[in-house]
């Protein structure tokens, strides 16, 4: 069993938490308003779930999922996340996040920016390219003919391997999309972003196999 902490327990964090509990992992949720506001969600998830303040939630975790707007990355508890494997689900949208000077040039990916904010952690990007309803509905056990794959990106091979194992446990295959610097290939606007899993209007989504995701990453241009 893995303990997975969530900094941000909204649409994407909450969905990864649901899949984690379904796979038998322990989850510790957190958000910006405090653990008492997560009481109902914890009750819904059952005995494998708890809630705490962000730094406390992260303390006991094997994996910390960061699922907050990119504008809040500078507020993360960097000390508490030192030594942790951090999964970055984020996407930089100026309409929501405002302007972050480091990202506006386009040369720094949002996950590389997160890694800069968390120098003691090891960041792997995952889950950012799939609509949360598709993530919920497309999970399949290993070996299923219609298993869906997600791109991951990171600078540390051991961390990517751990994330691949975690994804496998919750119903997804992983395609290695390269380093954090390469992760623009799965950012908004790239062929691997959203489209492989079908339109938002179809909430059940369309399974996307390994070859489809590999091809989408390879087609990215900038
Ligand atoms: N929605 C999707 O389908 C989807 C898919 C893939 C990736 N993403 C990306 O994932 C990230 C989160 O998106 P979302 O749709 O899950 O957003 P959301 O539903 O609005 O949830 C955001 C969560 O982050 C928390 N939060 C915000 N600021 C925080 C802070 N400073 N410290 C701690 N927690 C904070 C919120 O807590 P409170 O509610 O207490 O403020 C909430 O739990 C975004 O970068 C988004 O682009 C989203």
Does residue 135's CB lie within 6 angstroms of at least one atom of ligand 1?
A: no
Q: What is the pLDDT of residues 4-33, one digit of tens each?
A: 999 999 999 999 999 999 999 999 999 999
Ligand 1 mutation target, pool 12, 33, 55, 138, most atoms within 8 A of CB: 12
pLDDT band at 97; cut points 50, 70, 90: very high
Does residue 89's CB lie within 6 angstroms of at least one atom of ligand 1?
A: yes
Question: Closest residue (by CA) to atom 47 of ligand 1?
Answer: 91
Q: What is the pLDDT of residues 172-193, one digit of tens each?
A: 999 999 999 999 999 999 999 9
- Cα of 45 vs centre of ligand 1, distance in Å, is 19
pLDDT band at 129; cut points 50, 70, 90: very high
Percent with pLDDT over 90 in the chain: 97
For 211, other C-beta atoms within 10 Å of its C-beta total 10
Q: What pLDDT score does 63 carry?
A: 98
Atom nearest to 70 CA in ligand 1: 45
Separation CA 102–CA 83 (nearest Å): 24
Q: What is the mean pLDDT of residues 119-129?
A: 98
Q: What is the mean pLDDT of residues 103-125?
A: 97
pLDDT exceeds cutoff 90 at 150: yes
Pairing mode of beta strands 149-154, 122-125:
antiparallel
- The region, left, alpha or beta by phi > 0 then psi within -120 to 50, assigned to residue 111 is alpha
In 31-165, DSSP assigns E strands to 49-51, 63-66, 85-88, 122-125, 149-154
- Block residue for tokens 């309803």: 133
Q: What pLDDT score does 8 carry?
A: 98
**Structural domain that includes position 30:** 3-219
Q: What is the pLDDT of residues 62-78, one digit of tens each?
A: 999 999 999 999 999 99
Separation CA 184–CA 99 (nearest Å): 17
Atom nearest to 133 CA in ligand 1: 3
What CATH number does the domain containing 64 carry? 3.40.50.720
Burial class of residue 168, CB neighbours in 10 A (0-12, 13-18, 19+):
middle
Q: What pLDDT score does 1 carry?
A: 80
Atom nearest to 9 CA in ligand 1: 43
Percent with pLDDT over 70 in the chain: 100
Q: Which two tokens stand for residue 73?
A: 């990355």
Ligand 1 mutation target, pool 67, 137, 196, most atoms within 8 A of CB: 67
Rounded to the nearest 5°, which phi and psi values hold at 22? -60, -30
Torsion of Cα atoms, 155 then 167 then 37 then 119, to 10°: -10
Q: What pLDDT score does 36 carry?
A: 98
Which pTM does this prediction carry? 0.98
- Block residue for tokens 């405002």: 98
- Cα of 144 vs centre of ligand 1, distance in Å, is 30
- Number of domains, the chain: 1
- Label each residue of 48-71 as H, E or C: CEEECCHHHHHHCCCEEEECCCHH
Q: What pLDDT score does 60 carry?
A: 87
């Amino acid at each position: 069993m893995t303990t997975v902490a969530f900094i941000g327990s909204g649409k994407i964090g909450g969905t990864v938490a649901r899949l984690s509990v379904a796979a038998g992992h322990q989850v510790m949720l957190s958000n910006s308003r405090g653990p008492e506001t997560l009481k109902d969600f914890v009750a819904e998830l059952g005995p494998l779930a708890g809630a705490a303040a962000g730094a406390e939630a992260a303390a006991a975790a094997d994996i910390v999922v960061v699922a907050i707007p990119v504008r809040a990355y500078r507020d993360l508890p960097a000390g508490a996340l030192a030594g942790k494997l951090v999964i970055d689900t984020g996407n930089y949208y100026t309409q929501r996040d405002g302007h972050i000077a480091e990202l506006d040039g386009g040369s720094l990916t949002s996950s590389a920016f997160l890694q800069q904010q968390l120098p003691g952690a090891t960041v792997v990007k995952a889950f950012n390219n799939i609509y949360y309803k598709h993530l919920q509905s497309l999970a399949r056990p290993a070996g299923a003919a219609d298993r869906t794959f997600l791109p991951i990106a990171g600078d540390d091979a051991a961390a990517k391997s751990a994330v691949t194992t975690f994804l496998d446990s919750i119903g997804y295959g992983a395609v290695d999309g390269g380093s954090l610097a390469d992760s623009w290939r799965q950012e908004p606007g790239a062929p691997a972003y959203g489209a492989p899993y079908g339109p938002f209007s179809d909430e059940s989504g369309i399974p996307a196999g390994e070859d489809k995701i590999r091809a989408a990453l390879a087609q990215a241009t900038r």
